[in-house]
């Protein structure tokens, strides 16, 4: 597992890029996340960059890569990735001999447009929060909220990669079939119960050959990093269509990623023990290892904010709806997701995306969706300006944020992902 702390994590490190040294900065020199960018409003080819403070280091301009193929970079071995991180850290730290040359390769983040971090060939969405699964299950199956397989097998479904976009998306309210409980037949129309889902998106680095499962001890060698992920959901469409084969049109109309991928190497100081309640079934051997138990989870704080159209017009800042931590919310680790995804011989490829599923903690204030916060529409959420929400309305902007902080380590952030609902 990628657990090694080295000089790139040093709390004393400072960058010659002054904005990276500001307290609370998402992108200090200890982070160094990857993304794709181009000059705003241009038709330039996308370039690979690393966020440092409020700047982007153009990797090709800095002489660090010979191409701008993010998927090829993600396919590198862990040793090659660690070597690149070391180069970046040494070149961006105060006193570096590369400062004069690399300063010419810096681009202000404010002047660019970001893209989805890589070409996503396939996307699987999991269901890793037992709290979310139980709360939602109670709404549909009060006597049997959690299906018997949940605590044995990581549940997932194959999603739609083509409709995944980057932060700043405008989400068109989808249409689909719905059926009211007292109606004789379904009708086609716009979704009335549009929701968000607070998720993490884990990206595959190196792939595996078809027919060759990835053992849990090697699973993290196949993980590149993580981004924030909002899997928009049309709950009324979902309720009518999801049996017997699961989500379809209720999910595939749009999903939104944050533009920066924080690598597993950067997350090393924020690892945590994977702890399963002693009363619960323990993972089968292919999903279990001493390393996964001792440090397979990640300590990532997650926050959901909402800004309505009325708030925006009044100049009011977004308000927090909920907050949780991935360690509290996730029932399965990223390594277990890789091991399970490939146990049947499925071949993952560089750039494939695995959604965590909605991450909700045990408390009501930690819910990762309006479906939970508003109890399926029965208990509206009242905002500070007096507005109420059961589900998202046109003009609403939904924002997810994430960061890691721990004593003895420098805080790093995942940035944010936002999307605005339009009619």
- List 132, 222, 340, 341, catalytic entry: 132
* 231 is known to lie in a ligand binding site: yes
Tokens 């979310």 correspond to 132
DSSP-derived pairing of the beta strands 353-355 and 123-126? parallel
* 369 is known to lie in a ligand binding site: no
* 396 is known to lie in a ligand binding site: no
What's the Cα-to-Cα distance from 152 to each of 253, 291, 292, 321, 336, rounded to whole Å? Answer: 30, 19, 16, 31, 11
Q: Give dist(CA 182, CA 172) in Å, integer.
A: 28
* 242 is known to lie in a ligand binding site: yes
* 322 is known to lie in a ligand binding site: no
* 141 is known to lie in a ligand binding site: yes
Q: Give dist(CA 351, CA 374) in Å, integer.
A: 35
User: Measuring CA to CA, which residue among 293, 401, 308, 335 is closest to residue 154?
Assistant: 335
User: Measuring CA to CA, which residue among 386, 387, 391 is closest to residue 375?
Assistant: 391
Distance of CA 164 to the CA centre of its chain: 12
132 is known as an active-site residue: yes
299: tokens are 């300590």
Q: Is the peptide bond before 197 cis (omega within 30 degrees of 0)?
A: no
Tokens 């850290």 correspond to 89
Region label for 90, one of left (φ > 0), alpha (ψ between -120 and 50) or beta (otherwise): alpha
DSSP assignment of 193-228:
SEE--EEEEEEE-S---TT-PPPGGGGGGGEEEEEE
Q: Is there a contact between 127 and 136 (Cβ–Cβ < 8 Å)?
A: no
Region label for 114, one of left (φ > 0), alpha (ψ between -120 and 50) or beta (otherwise): beta
Indicate the SS3 state at residue 121: coil
* 336 is known to lie in a ligand binding site: no
Q: Give dist(CA 319, CA 325) in Å, integer.
A: 18
What does the buried/exposed string (b/e) look like for 254-276 if buried means 16 or more CB atoms within 10 Å of the residue's CB? Answer: bbbbbbbbbbbbbbbbbbbebee
* 255 is known to lie in a ligand binding site: yes
* 127 is known to lie in a ligand binding site: yes
Binding site residue list for Ca(2+): 125, 197, 199, 231
Binding site residue list for substrate: 127, 141, 238, 242, 358
Binding site residue list: 125, 127, 141, 197, 199, 231, 238, 242, 251, 255, 358
Active site (catalytic) residues = 132
Binding site residue list for Mg(2+): 231, 251, 255
């Amino acid at each position: 597992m990628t657990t090694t702390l080295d000089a790139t994590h040093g709390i004393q490190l400072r960058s010659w890029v002054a904005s990276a040294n500001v307290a609370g900065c998402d992108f200090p020199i200890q982070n160094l996340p990857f993304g794709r960018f181009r000059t705003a409003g241009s038709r330039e080819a996308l370039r690979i960059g690393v966020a440092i403070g409020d700047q982007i280091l153009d990797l090709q301009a800095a002489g660090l890569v010979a191409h701008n193929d993010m998927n090829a970079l993600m396919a590198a071995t862990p040793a090659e990735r660690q070597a690149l991180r070391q180069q970046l850290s040494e070149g961006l730290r105060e006193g570096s001999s590369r400062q004069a040359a690399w300063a010419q390769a810096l681009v202000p983040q404010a002047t660019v447009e970001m893209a989805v971090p890589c070409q996503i060939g396939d996307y699987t969405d999991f269901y890793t929060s037992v709290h979310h699964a139980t709360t939602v299950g109670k709404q549909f199956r009060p006597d049997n909220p959690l299906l018997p397989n949940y605590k044995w097998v990581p549940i997932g479904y194959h999603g739609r990669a083509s409709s995944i976009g980057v932060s700043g998306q405008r989400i068109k309210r989808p249409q689909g079939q719905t059926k009211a409980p007292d109606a004789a037949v379904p009708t086609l129309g716009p979704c009335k119960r549009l929701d968000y889902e607070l998720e993490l998106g884990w990206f595959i680095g190196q792939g595996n050959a078809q027919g060759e499962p990835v053992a849990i001890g090697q699973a993290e060698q196949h993980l590149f990093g993580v981004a924030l992920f909002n899997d928009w959901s049309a709950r009324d469409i979902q309720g009518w269509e999801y049996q017997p084969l699961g989500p379809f049109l209720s999910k595939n109309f749009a999903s939104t990623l944050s533009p920066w991928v924080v690598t597993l190497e950067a997350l090393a100081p924020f690892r945590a023990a994977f702890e399963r309640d002693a009363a619960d079934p323990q993972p089968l051997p292919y999903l279990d290892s001493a390393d996964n138990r001792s440090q397979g989870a990640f300590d990532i704080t997650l926050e959901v904010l909402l800004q309505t159209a009325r708030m925006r017009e009044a100049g009011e800042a977004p308000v927090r709806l909920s907050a949780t931590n991935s360690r509290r919310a996730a029932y399965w680790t990223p390594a277990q997701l890789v091991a399970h995804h490939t146990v049947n011989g499925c071949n993952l490829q560089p750039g494939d995306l695995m959604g965590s599923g909605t991450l909700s903690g045990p408390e009501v204030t930690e819910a990762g969706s309006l479906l939970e916060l508003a109890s399926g529409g029965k208990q509206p959420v009242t905002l500070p300006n007096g507005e109420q929400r059961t589900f998202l309305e046109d003009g609403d902007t939904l924002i997810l944020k994430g960061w890691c902080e721990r004593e003895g380590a420098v805080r790093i952030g995942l940035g944010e992902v936002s999307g605005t609902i339009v009619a």
